[in-house]
Amino acid sequence: MRNKVIKIAEVLTSAIVKWTGAEAVILGEAAEIGVYDPYFSIDLDIIYSGPLLPANDRKYIYGNPQAFETSPVYPEDRFLIDELPVMVNCISLTRIEIILKRIKDNQWVYRENGTNMFYRIKNGISLYSRTARLENIRKELKSIPENFWRGVIDSSKCQLESVLSDLGAAAYRNDNHFFIISAAAFLKYLASLIFALHREFEPSGRMISGKINGFTDLPDGFYGRFESFLRYDDMLDLGKKREIAELIVKDFFSITPTSFIHSS
């Protein structure tokens, strides 16, 4: 089955490179999971220059696949090939270069979507590269300046403080809906903080839990508290879960920003 996955990725790549703007094609790690795992997906990132190819033209290049759909907001296409799920993200080379320049000039601002784009570019399998641009981008990503990580750390801490307040308010009102929304934000910014402390970019949401569980240097008691926060348990009401979240945050706020640099 793995051979089938590789063949599909290669066939798609050979078609994608016919788009003259395609600079590089990268295969994501979700393709390495067993095909019967619900997290499996053939994820491709296309780094392109010039104008974005219209959705209908991209669909044609993919071979008019089954169940094709595209996002009206982001250049992200989803479809099926031989009943296997495929997701293609189109990333502007100009956008990447602008972001890297801002990081170098200490003008980058942490956004809601985090650092996953950098993770995919740095860690994905290169299936095609028209020039040396992908290699050069990866070199820059390996030497991200310290002020970038400090910015992510500070922003994540600020967001966590705000989310703790929301969790407390939702617990006081016994508002399950807002508590769940706030809990999702808590988990997002906690993950951002953990990866930034280790000077690592964030994987996709499907992979975050496994990656966090792979760290061996997190604060004592973290994993127990983390599992308790995630668990649905009648013995843990919203107030107790909020207390658990506060203990987790206090532990991480007591860590100096450079504690994990050499331990990951």
pLDDT, one tens digit per residue, over 214-253 is: 999 999 999 999 999 999 888 889 999 999 999 999 999 9
* Residue 264 placed within a domain: no
Task: Say if residue 80 is in the same domain as residue 191.
Answer: no
For the record, the structure tokens of 226 come out as 């983390």
Q: Does residue 157 belong to any structural domain of this protein?
A: yes
* Contacts within 8 Å (CB) and 24+ apart, 221-227: 221/247, 221/251, 222/248, 222/251
pLDDT score, position 1: 58
Domain CATH number, residue 101? 3.30.460.10
Those residues of the chain that have pLDDT short of 70 are 1, 110-113, 257-264
Q: Give dist(CA 79, CA 70) in Å, integer.
A: 9
- 170 and 80 in one domain? no
Contact predicate 83/128, CB 8 Å:
no
Looking at the fold, whether 116 and 169 belong to one and the same domain comes out as no
Q: Are 69 and 160 contained in the same domain?
A: no
Q: Of the candidates 127, 142, 157, which is a domain's last residue?
A: 142
- 33 and 106, same structural domain? yes
Give CA–CA dist 73/76, Å, rounded: 8
Q: Is the same domain home to 105 and 159?
A: no
Tell me: do 100 and 32 sit in the same domain: yes
Instruction: Write down the pLDDT at residue 264.
Output: 45
17 and 132 share one domain: yes
Q: Are residues 8 and 136 in the same domain?
A: yes
> Taking each helix axis from N to C terminus, what angle separates 133-142 and 93-104, rounded to the nearest 10 degrees?
30
28 plus 108 within the same structural domain? yes
What per-residue confidence (pLDDT) applies to 106?
Answer: 85
Query: Number of structural domains, the chain?
Result: 2
Q: What are phi and psi of 136, to 5 degrees?
A: -65, -40
pLDDT of residue 114: 83
- Residue 260, phi then psi, degrees to nearest 5: -100, 5
Last residue of a domain, one of 142, 168, 202: 142
Q: Are residues 48 and 136 in the same domain?
A: yes
In a domain, 79, yes or no: yes
- pLDDT at residue 181, as a whole number: 97
Domain that holds residue 71: 2-142
Q: Are 33 and 42 in contact (CB under 8 A)?
A: no
Specify whether 163 is located in the same domain as 187: yes
Question: What DSSP character marks residue 147?
Answer: H
Residues comprising the chain, all counted: 264
Q: Look at residue 82 and tell me if it is in a domain.
A: yes
